[in-house]
């Protein structure tokens, strides 16, 4: 690792990228032999997404990918993080693969390589084939086994062109938002089901890494991306608040880090959930299967949370994101409350706290000193201002520029203190389908006009290009075209 005393200057081999996910950008939902996914079903169910938005068309990336690759190239990015839609390449999740779907990704990877961009590929960013959900989804062990078959086939078909293989994106969301709070597909609200989903997602990761290494050899760069929660105790000198933090950490972080990197589920969580499930879905040998060598850990970071013990009286405060959901994703932490965080906040209502990223990366580095990391997502939704002068459109997004600037700086601080962070991916390349929030929330550094599908670089895209091409953090005033 190259060290530098200046947190604003990054080494030449530091990777600057941007990220997307299949269901959020592709559209073409019924084209090219693609099968339905749980997000097609969920978004087409009235009341599940804001304004009833679906990913049927999204950014029409399925047809416009050559233009999008041009944008990636013109941004000067060294890497692009994309996900494969499982139902596009294997419509039912088991059985036949779909040559047309595989060709779509094969062509996309070729174009990225021709543009000098390294593909970082996620195998699962939440679009489970509906047939697998009908058979029990992630609560079903067979889904993990099917995932390994799919992963093996992708490694065989595309392995020579992929730089990093990421198995899962944010299994916390897939399990706890999908099966506990129900705000994500498939919209189930059952704690026991969610805990089984956690385990089968972890198992799917382990089986997939094994399959990928079997096909591509031990030098294959394998990875998983986690949304690790930075949880602060409201009063760090209060044992009760520290205990509240520990409960939140266990369900949100340790139920993944534990099995993936340390070979066990957190004992406290097992105890506190004993009345919900007997955990018999964890079979002999599973923990060995899950704990596989990782080339790099992907870290997604957006904001922080603050918790304290709940007295049991009055109305319990809940995390901003889950106020209206039917179930809580904080299993085993029913007696804690989430306090409103001081601002500023993004359009998602998430608080902005760049120091949380420094803390998180340093903590991970201390715990796993030999594990390289990449920030695989970081970014913010804001209301952008679109102006048009003499037919030239500009999109002003000063708060996004500030957000990206401050977080890259925070990443640089962690690196200066020794954290082995090798890359940063801005979420997202394009405005896209923001899950339950539909098209209402825009995370892109490139604006998408959903009537015309026209792409327009925001000021943040111009700013990010300077960063990616120089490796030196520009001032926020250096945003905009030049
Ligand atoms: C990522 O999820 C996804 O990978 C990506 O697809 C998505 O578009 C992007 O972020 C933006 O949402 O629950 O109130 O404590 C991020 C999901 C964000 C979930 C922060 C938990 C904490 C708010 N996480 N959130 S709260």
Distances (CA, A) of 208 to 129, 139, 217, 295: 17, 17, 13, 14
Protein residue with its CA nearest to atom 8 in ligand 1: 434
Protein residue with its CA nearest to atom 26 in ligand 1: 321
In terms of Cβ atoms closer than 10 Å to its own Cβ (0-12, 13-18, 19+), residue 278 is: exposed
With contact defined as beta carbons under 8 Å apart, do 253 and 265 qualify?
no
Gap between the Cα atoms of 62 and 32, Å rounded: 10
Residue 350: partners with Cβ closer than 8 Å, 6 or more residues away = 302, 303, 320, 321, 380
Distances (CA, A) of 143 to 147, 155, 189, 257, 326: 6, 18, 19, 21, 25
Sheet of strand 336-338: strand arrangement: 230-233, 304-309, 336-338
Ligand 1 geometric centre to CA of 54 (Å):
18
Ligand 1 geometric centre to CA of 442 (Å):
13
Ligand 1 geometric centre to CA of 378 (Å):
10
Q: Which DSSP string corresponds to 216-251?
A: H-TT--EEEEE---EEEESSTT-HHHHHHHHHHHII
Domains of the chain: 15-230+252-301+347-470 (3.20.20.80)
Residue 170 in contact with ligand 1 by CB distance below 6 A: yes
Gap between the Cα atoms of 173 and 191, Å rounded: 14
Instruction: Report the complex ipTM.
Output: 0.94
Measuring CA to CA, which residue among 74, 170, 156, 63 is closest to residue 122? 170
Protein residue with its CA nearest to atom 25 in ligand 1: 321
Residue 459 in contact with ligand 1 by CB distance below 6 A: no
Residue 127 in contact with ligand 1 by CB distance below 6 A: no
Q: Catalytic positions, please?
A: 170, 377
Ligand 1 geometric centre to CA of 388 (Å):
32
Protein residue with its CA nearest to atom 15 in ligand 1: 319
With contact defined as beta carbons under 8 Å apart, do 232 and 306 qualify?
yes
Q: Which atom, in ligand 1's list, is nearest to the CA of 169?
A: 4
Residue 377 in contact with ligand 1 by CB distance below 6 A: yes
Ligand 1 geometric centre to CA of 351 (Å):
12
Q: Which atom, in ligand 1's list, is nearest to the CA of 443?
A: 11
Print pLDDT tens along the chain (482 aa): 444 457 799 999 999 999 999 999 999 999 999 999 999 999 999 999 999 999 999 999 999 999 999 999 999 999 999 999 999 999 999 999 999 999 999 999 999 999 999 999 999 999 999 999 999 999 999 999 999 999 999 999 999 999 999 999 999 999 999 999 999 999 999 999 999 999 999 999 999 999 999 999 999 999 999 999 999 999 999 999 999 999 999 999 999 999 999 999 999 999 999 999 999 999 999 999 999 999 999 999 999 999 999 988 888 887 655 556 778 999 999 999 999 999 999 999 999 999 999 999 999 999 999 999 999 999 999 999 999 999 999 999 999 999 999 999 999 999 999 999 999 999 999 999 999 999 999 999 999 999 999 999 999 999 999 999 999 999 999 988 87
What is the predicted pLDDT for the residue at 245?
A: 98
Protein residue with its CA nearest to atom 12 in ligand 1: 434
Residue 169 in contact with ligand 1 by CB distance below 6 A: yes
Residue 21 in contact with ligand 1 by CB distance below 6 A: yes
The three-class DSSP label of residue 273 is: coil
What is the predicted pLDDT for the residue at 321?
A: 54
Distances (CA, A) of 9 to 5, 248, 374, 414, 416: 8, 35, 17, 13, 10
Residue 302 in contact with ligand 1 by CB distance below 6 A: yes
What is the predicted pLDDT for the residue at 385?
A: 97
Q: Which atom, in ligand 1's list, is nearest to the CA of 427?
A: 9
Q: Which DSSP string corresponds to 335-384?
A: TEEEPPPPS-B-TTSPBP-THHHHHHHHHHHHH-TT--EEEEEE------
Residue 319 in contact with ligand 1 by CB distance below 6 A: yes
Gap between the Cα atoms of 332 and 272, Å rounded: 5
Ligand 1 geometric centre to CA of 283 (Å):
31
């Amino acid at each position: 690792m190259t060290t530098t005393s200046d947190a604003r200057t990054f080494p030449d081999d530091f990777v600057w990228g941007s990220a997307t996910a299949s269901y959020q950008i592709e559209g073409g939902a019924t084209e090219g032999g693609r099968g339905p996914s749980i997000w097609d079903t969920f978004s087409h169910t009235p009341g599940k997404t804001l304004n009833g938005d679906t990913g049927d068309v999204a950014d029409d990336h399925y047809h416009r990918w050559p233009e999008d690759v041009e944008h990636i190239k013109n941004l000067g990015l060294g890497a692009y993080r994309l996900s494969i839609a499982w139902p596009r390449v294997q419509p039912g999740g088991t059985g036949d693969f779909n040559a047309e779907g595989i060709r779509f990704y094969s062509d996309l990877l070729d174009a990225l390589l021709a543009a000098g961009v390294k593909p970082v590929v996620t195998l699962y960013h939440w679009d489970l084939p509906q047939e697998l959900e009908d058979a029990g989804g992630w609560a079903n062990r067979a889904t993990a086994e099917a995932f390994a078959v799919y992963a093996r086939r992708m490694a065989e078909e595309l392995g020579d062109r992929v730089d990093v293989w990421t198995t899962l994106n944010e299994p916390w969301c897939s399990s706890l938002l999908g099966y506990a709070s129900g705000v994500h597909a498939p919209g189930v609200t059952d704690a026991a089901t969610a805990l089984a989903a956690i385990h089968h997602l972890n198992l799917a990761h382990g089986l997939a890494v094994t399959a990928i290494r079997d096909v591509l050899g031990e030098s294959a760069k394998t990875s998983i991306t986690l949304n690790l929660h930075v949880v602060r105790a409201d009063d760090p000198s209060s044992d009760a608040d520290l205990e509240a933090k520990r409960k939140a950490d266990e369900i949100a972080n340790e139920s993944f880090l534990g099995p993936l990197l340390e070979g066990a589920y957190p004992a406290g969580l097992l105890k506190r959930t004993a009345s919900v499930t007997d955990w018999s879905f964890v079979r002999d040998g599973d923990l060995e299967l899950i704990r596989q060598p990782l080339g790099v850990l992907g870290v997604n970071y957006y904001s922080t949370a603050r918790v304290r013990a709940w007295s049991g009286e009055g109305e319990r405060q809940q995390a901003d994101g889950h106020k209206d959901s039917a179930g809580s994703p904080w299993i085993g932490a029913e007696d804690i409350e989430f306090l409103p965080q001081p601002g500023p906040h993004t359009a998602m209502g998430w608080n902005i706290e760049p120091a949380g990223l420094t803390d998180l990366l340093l903590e991970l580095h201390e715990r796993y000193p030999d594990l390289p990391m990449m920030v695989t997502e970081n970014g913010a939704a804001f209301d952008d201002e679109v102006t048009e002068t003499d037919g030239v459109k500009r999109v002003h997004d000063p708060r996004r520029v500030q957000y990206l600037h401050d977080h890259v700086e925070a990443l640089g601080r962690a690196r200066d203190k020794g954290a082995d962070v090798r890359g940063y991916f801005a979420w997202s390349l394009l405005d896209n389908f923001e899950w339950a929030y539909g098209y209402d929330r825009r995370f892109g550094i490139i604006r998408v006009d959903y009537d015309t599908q026209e792409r327009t670089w925001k000021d943040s895209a111009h700013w990010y290009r300077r960063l990616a091409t120089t490796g030196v953090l520009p001032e926020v005033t250096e945003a905009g075209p030049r």
